[in-house]
Amino acid sequence: MIASPFTDQGLLRDGHLEIRLHGRGGQGGVTCAKILAALFARTGHSVQAFGDYAGERSGAPVRAYMRASDTEVDNRNKIYTPDHLLVLDPTLLGDDIVGGLKTGGTLLINTPDAPEQVALRFPGYRVATVDATAIARRHGIGSRSVVIVNTTLAGAFARAVDLPLDALAATYDSLGLRSNLPAAKEAWTAVRMAEPLAGDVARAGAVAGPPSVIALTDHTVGAPTGLKTGSWRTQAPKYAEHLAPCNAWCPAGNDVVGFVQALAQKGEAAAAAILDATTPLAGVCGRVCPAPCMDGCNRREYDGAVHIRGLERWIADHRPKLTAVPAPAANPKHVAVVGGGPAGLAAAHTLAKLGHKATLFDAETAPGGVLRTGIPGYRLPRDVLDREVEAILGLGVELKANTALSKKDLEELPQRFDGVVLATGLQRLTGLEVPGANLPGIEQGIAFLKRVNSGEPAKLTGHVVVLGGGNTAMDCARSALRAGASRVTVAYRRAREDMPAIAEEVHEAEDEGIVFAFWQAPVGFSGTGRVQGITLAKVEAGPPDESGRRRPVVTSQHELLACDAVLLALGQGRDLSLLPEGWSLETGRISCNGAALPIFAAGDVATGDGTVTHAIGDGRRAAQRLLNALGEAVTIFERPDRSAAVPVTDIRLDHFTRSEPAAPILESATTRAHHSGEVSRGLASLSEAHRCMSCGHCTQCDTCLVYCPEGIIRRKDGSYAVDYSFCKGCGICVSECPRKAMEMSAQ
């Protein structure tokens, strides 16, 4: 039987009892004091209980107080010399906590340690211990991570001061805490006590008595708190870069957020330097790229994507000319690049920048591939392409134009060069096998565009029908208008939203008067000596295919449309029959009868992705893979995982003022359709760069510094430094960071 601490006087000492509790925010210390008050009220005492309230948060040290008295409690002070002390969290236990506890007083601690062990540190006190955390957890009080120990510890205290169990039960009943009673009872049984050891209580640390009263004449100067609140921290903030969605979406692997921010902060030259690392064709992509980066842009969810394509064009159009020639590599390789389209140009660019020799073979008079022969000048002026091709050649790339390579030539390349990048593009055109498909006046759109773009005769008259829904179809339709057609109709077998063409191209075509017929498929052509009509069948939407688009189902509802010419823009495919005998292409590398050759395929011939930006990324990757295969240590570009990008939900949109995205300036539709000059004049200014939210990338906006409630973040060396000795780990800086350039991590 454990004796009451004041056996000769009952529960109270001289008719009064004072208890102080120490816990952490969230452990229920104040409620524990109130439970004890209720317990003593039940035994007929006048009581009082209160906490130390402040702007504290979970985990911060918290004190609570309880008084009981035989007479009315009229002491309104905090408790400095308690009769008993309860410690809810053993990590708080120190001389400063125990200070003021009266000799012989009970020191009840929530700890698995034996009381005798703790008593060695605190002679002169009756030490009681109980593992209230374990008991409360067993009884499911609180959550698995945050156990609430107050009701359990109160049970142990009742036992320590010899309060009967039934008083405890009645109190819990009255407070609606019946479900917590079993844990309290278990603690009542489990609490262990050690009688006071002889020793000097003062030496044990009677520190926390009332602060000395300053003499009236004394003068004090406020000093910063000496309390190193960093010890409360369980998590710490840190600055960390995260993947921006524009970067994750860019198939070329451009550092999009990097060049946009550089443009906004430092200007065109700095932005161009970032682009040069990954693309030689910023001026081209700034005009014709479908801009997946803009699809990924988090601002799209807010007030419209940043017009990244327009900014890329701005940089290309305003940048200083590149003059530096890269230094030769230590062990330069000589590589043949076959095909001067975007993939081949990107491969040559990559090789040259790394100091290797590249020889570029192109069948046409000048390199550029589809950029030169396919894309009309009103979208991509030739001087823009020429300027960028020149810059690539200026890096030391040797050009062999007008050089179509036969199978035999290809077979010999591995002997003449250290390696080969094969970037021959898509050579096979999709035709139509329907009645009348061979009638004159029906032509592949690619062939038509090539004639237009090379300045050969390409005049059209009357009503031209274009079949297809991609960018080639748009190019054909708009070029047909410029080539003299009086009317152009685009027939497409799916819906408008299914069109692979860039939406802006479609809008521009419509503005120029081009008519669209959706859900229409050609089933025959008619005419005498020349196509005069096209029979279109109505198409219905079937079940979705693997691309998620509704599969077109051709019906028997036909309609005859009179026309004077038809352009086919039904897609292209790669033609591997052009490869020498025995060559095969697997995962981008050529093998000959099973033996890997130092030949890597790049661009559409390898992937069939069909955009300039894909070709650029793939050309660079093929060049890097080849160099690796040749023994050069080169990091190979891999397209980032889009799911790893910062989601819009991690952006604090409230920090950004809503603003409409800027649009490029277009020439009027009524005049532009009659000449082949560039339709778009680009953005009027670089203001779009300032709309970039810089997802995952710190802009030194000072939000963390301003919001830190402790004022312990400061600028340092172009970034910030956190004073961790005072950082409580509240996480406000991280949650307020507008752009997820910070994160919390466990200690």
Only one of the segments 43-51, 340-348, 380-388, 543-551 lies at the binding site for another protein (rule: CB under 8 A); that segment is 43-51
Our finding on whether 415 is near another protein (CB under 8 A) is no
**What's the min distance (Å) between Cβ of 170 and another protein?**
14
Of the pair 55, 226, the CB lying nearest another protein is at 55
Only one of the segments 44-52, 468-476, 479-487, 519-527 lies at the binding site for another protein (rule: CB under 8 A); that segment is 44-52
Number of residues that bind another protein (CB under 8 A): 28
Our finding on whether 459 is near another protein (CB under 8 A) is no
Residues 6+ apart with CB under 8 A from 718: 700
Our finding on whether 225 is near another protein (CB under 8 A) is no
Using CB under 8 A as the binding rule, the residues of this chain from 116 to 145 that contact another protein are none
Our finding on whether 707 is near another protein (CB under 8 A) is no
Residues 6+ apart with CB under 8 A from 182: 139
Only one of the segments 49-57, 538-546, 587-595, 716-724 lies at the binding site for another protein (rule: CB under 8 A); that segment is 49-57
Residues 6+ apart with CB under 8 A from 64: 20, 21, 23, 29, 30, 32, 33, 49, 50, 51, 52
Our finding on whether 64 is near another protein (CB under 8 A) is no
Residues 6+ apart with CB under 8 A from 547: none
Q: Where are the alpha helices (DSSP H) in 395-530?
A: 407-416, 445-454, 471-482, 503-511
User: 535 in helix, strand or coil?
Assistant: strand
**What's the min distance (Å) between Cβ of 217 and another protein?**
9
Residue pointed to by tokens 């033996």: 595
471: nearest Cα among 447, 445, 453, 441: 445
Of the pair 23, 377, the CB lying nearest another protein is at 23
Our finding on whether 577 is near another protein (CB under 8 A) is no
Our finding on whether 207 is near another protein (CB under 8 A) is no
Cα dihedral: 586, 592, 596, 602 (round 10): -50
Only one of the segments 117-125, 211-219, 262-270, 273-281 lies at the binding site for another protein (rule: CB under 8 A); that segment is 211-219
Our finding on whether 74 is near another protein (CB under 8 A) is yes
Q: Which of 12, 19, 37, 308 binds another protein (CB under 8 A)?
A: 37
Please give the structure tokens belonging to residue 631.
């023994």
Q: How far apart are CA 414 and CA 114, in angstroms?
A: 80
**What's the min distance (Å) between Cβ of 67 and another protein?**
9
Our finding on whether 53 is near another protein (CB under 8 A) is yes
Our finding on whether 658 is near another protein (CB under 8 A) is no
Our finding on whether 60 is near another protein (CB under 8 A) is no
Give the pairing of strands 583-586 and 334-338: unpaired
Q: At residue 382, what is the residue type?
A: R
DSSP 388-428: HHHHHHHTT-EEETT-PPPHHHHHHHHHHSSEEEE-----E
Only one of the segments 51-59, 184-192, 194-202, 247-255 lies at the binding site for another protein (rule: CB under 8 A); that segment is 51-59
Our finding on whether 34 is near another protein (CB under 8 A) is yes
Q: Which of 77, 145, 593, 643 binds another protein (CB under 8 A)?
A: 77
**What's the min distance (Å) between Cβ of 31 and another protein?**
10
Q: How far apart are CA 61 and CA 149, in angstroms?
A: 15
Q: Which of 176, 211, 224, 718 binds another protein (CB under 8 A)?
A: 211
C-beta separation of 156 from 130 below 8 A: yes
User: 135 in helix, strand or coil?
Assistant: helix
157: nearest Cα among 4, 384, 45: 4
**What's the min distance (Å) between Cβ of 238 and another protein?**
29
Q: Which of 46, 81, 265, 526 binds another protein (CB under 8 A)?
A: 46
Burial class, 74, CB count within 10 angstroms (exposed 0-12 / middle 13-18 / buried 19+): exposed
Q: Which of 18, 23, 32, 48 binds another protein (CB under 8 A)?
A: 48
Strand order in the sheet with 589-592: 398-400, 357-361, 334-338, 419-422, 595-601, 589-592, 583-586
Q: Which of 2, 11, 41, 634 binds another protein (CB under 8 A)?
A: 41
Which long-range CB contacts under 8 A does 163-168 form with residues at least 24 apart?
163/11, 163/39, 163/43, 167/39, 167/42, 167/43, 168/39
Other CB atoms within a 10 A radius of the CB of residue 26 amount to 15
Of the pair 56, 632, the CB lying nearest another protein is at 56
Our finding on whether 47 is near another protein (CB under 8 A) is yes
Our finding on whether 73 is near another protein (CB under 8 A) is yes
Of the pair 39, 256, the CB lying nearest another protein is at 39
Residues 6+ apart with CB under 8 A from 511: 669
Q: Which of 5, 29, 51, 368 binds another protein (CB under 8 A)?
A: 51
Q: Which of 21, 38, 181, 360 binds another protein (CB under 8 A)?
A: 38
Q: Where are the alpha helices (DSSP H) in 303-444?
A: 308-318, 342-353, 370-373, 382-394, 407-416
Only one of the segments 42-50, 176-184, 374-382, 599-607 lies at the binding site for another protein (rule: CB under 8 A); that segment is 42-50
- Contact residues toward another protein (CB under 8 A) are 34, 37-38, 41, 46-51, 53-55, 73-78, 80, 210-211, 213-216, 218, 220
